[in-house]
Copies of this chain bind each other. A is one copy, B any other.
């Protein structure tokens, strides 16, 4: 701060600009760092106490910033929660766009989805808890924000099933959207139990394999 106020008093020189850019970048980096620090702290505290029982001041303390600082990066407490969710969902959607097309068959694609949904949280128990449990604590979030994205995700899975049925890889007598909901729910249930504490390291990976087997066999024509 003192540095920048000093520079105001000096004549503008050509050399300034590159340095300013650097400075800008550093500032942005620092800013992003702080934002991340807050998000990580929020994950920790939300997972421990739940959304409503968590005070903004607790997140601030856990992040090592002042209460007011949170509001420089997030519009509200609820937006903190949204951001945690958005971050993961964007990764998930990116995956679906980039990775799925590489898989030749519907069965392969379905297995990939299963691996990914569980793999996304492996090693991040707290984040898993936030997404499976805490997220549902904000009604508005659930109805206005999460639901649409969630339904889009379900539709994407249903589409895989449909394609599999069209290609003769899956049985015809199950409704694609029912399978989609079941697959998602099964994965969510696994994650939930794991997040609630009754599961060991690597459990999600093993579960993914077994679930994949079971669903694919259950869907076999």
Q: Which residue of B lies closest to A2 (CB)?
A: B12
A interface residues, tally (CB under 8 Å) = 48
Task: Tell whether, in the assembled complex, residue A206 and residue B52 are in contact, meaning their CB atoms are under 8 Å apart.
Answer: no
Q: Mark interface residues in A184-215 (1 if CB within 8 Å of B CB, else 0).
A: 11111110110010100000001100110111
Instruction: Tell me which residues across on chain B come within 8 A of A216, comparing CB atoms.
Output: 218
Q: Mark interface residues in A163-185 (1 if CB within 8 Å of B CB, else 0).
A: 00000000001110011011111
Q: Min CB distance, A57 to chain B, in Å?
A: 13
Instruction: Tell me which residues across on chain B come within 8 A of A39, comparing CB atoms.
Output: none
Determine whether A96 belongs to the interface, using a CB cutoff of 8 Å to chain B.
no
Identify which of B147, B214, B217 contacts A179 (C-beta below 8 A).
Answer: B214
Task: Tell whether, in the assembled complex, residue B196 and residue A147 are in contact, meaning their CB atoms are under 8 Å apart.
Answer: yes
Task: Tell whether, in the assembled complex, residue A189 and residue B179 are in contact, meaning their CB atoms are under 8 Å apart.
Answer: no
